[in-house]
């Protein structure tokens, strides 16, 4: 089994797991009253845009976006110089 087929299967499983997590969370929410909170990271090219509510989570997301940016640069910069 080649590495590309292993990576393809891992990516496919990650996508399916993500859909299942979203599906379970939507059905478990029901109609609760309360404060809505949301957050996320949007990458436009190499630039991360962090959005959300809650100060503590924004710091964590900012650190996560910086770590992801460094990881992306680490993997893609060697391929750009070829």
CA dihedral for 30, 33, 34, 40, sign (positive or negative): positive
pLDDT tens sequence across 27-49: 777 666 666 677 888 888 778 88
The 8-class DSSP code of residue 45 comes to T
pLDDT at 15: 93
Mean pLDDT of the chain: 82
Query: Which residues neighbour 65 within 8 Å (Cβ) at sequence distance 6 or greater?
Result: 41, 43, 48, 50
Q: So where are the chain's domains?
A: 1-34, 37-82
């Amino acid at each position: 089994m080649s590495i590309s087929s292993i990576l393809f299967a891992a990516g496919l499983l990650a996508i399916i797991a993500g859909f299942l997590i979203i599906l379970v969370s939507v059905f478990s929410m029901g109609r609760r009253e309360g404060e809505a909170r949301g957050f996320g990271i949007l990458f436009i090219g190499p630039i991360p845009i962090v959005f959300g509510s809650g100060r503590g989570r924004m710091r964590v997301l900012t650190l996560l976006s910086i770590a992801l940016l460094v990881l992306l640069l680490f993997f893609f910069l060697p391929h750009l110089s070829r």
